[in-house]
Structure 1
């Protein structure tokens, strides 16, 4: 599905914690997430820390949409 959307001219970013699977399905822009049950959060942290974590990861994903790439790229997420 990702390839078809991009073929239509729309950049797509896949946020995933299983990077090899994202690569296998053909995602070109990949942003790592935290875990399978909580991709954009960590219930052991405060709500403020979770907000910061989510805000940062979504920001990386949005930035990746405007980045020119020539091959599959996994965008770094600083902790």
Structure 2
């Protein structure tokens, strides 16, 4: 679906934790997430820590959306 949306002229960022799958299906802008059941957080962490993780990753995704790319790119995130 990502490729079809981009083919229509809209840039897309795929946030996922299975980077090899995203590259195989042709996603162009990829932002790594944390895990399958909790991609943008960890319920075992404090609410403050979860907020920081989400804020950072969504920020990376927005930066990726605004970045011109020529090939598939996996954007770096802080651990």
TM-score relative to the length of structure 1: 0.96
CA drift of 1:43 comes to 1.3
Extract unaligned runs of 5+ from structure 1: none
Report the secondary structure of 1:14's partner residue.
strand
Residues 1:65 and 2:65 aligned together: yes
**Aligned-CA RMSD value:** 0.7
Q: Structure 2-normalised TM-score?
A: 0.96
Query: How far is the alpha carbon of 1:44 from its aligned partner?
Result: 1.5
State the Cα distance separating 1:25 from its structure 2 match.
1.0
- Matched residues in 1 for 2:41 and 2:4: separation? 29
Please identify runs of 4+ aligned residues in structure 1 that moved more than 6 A.
none
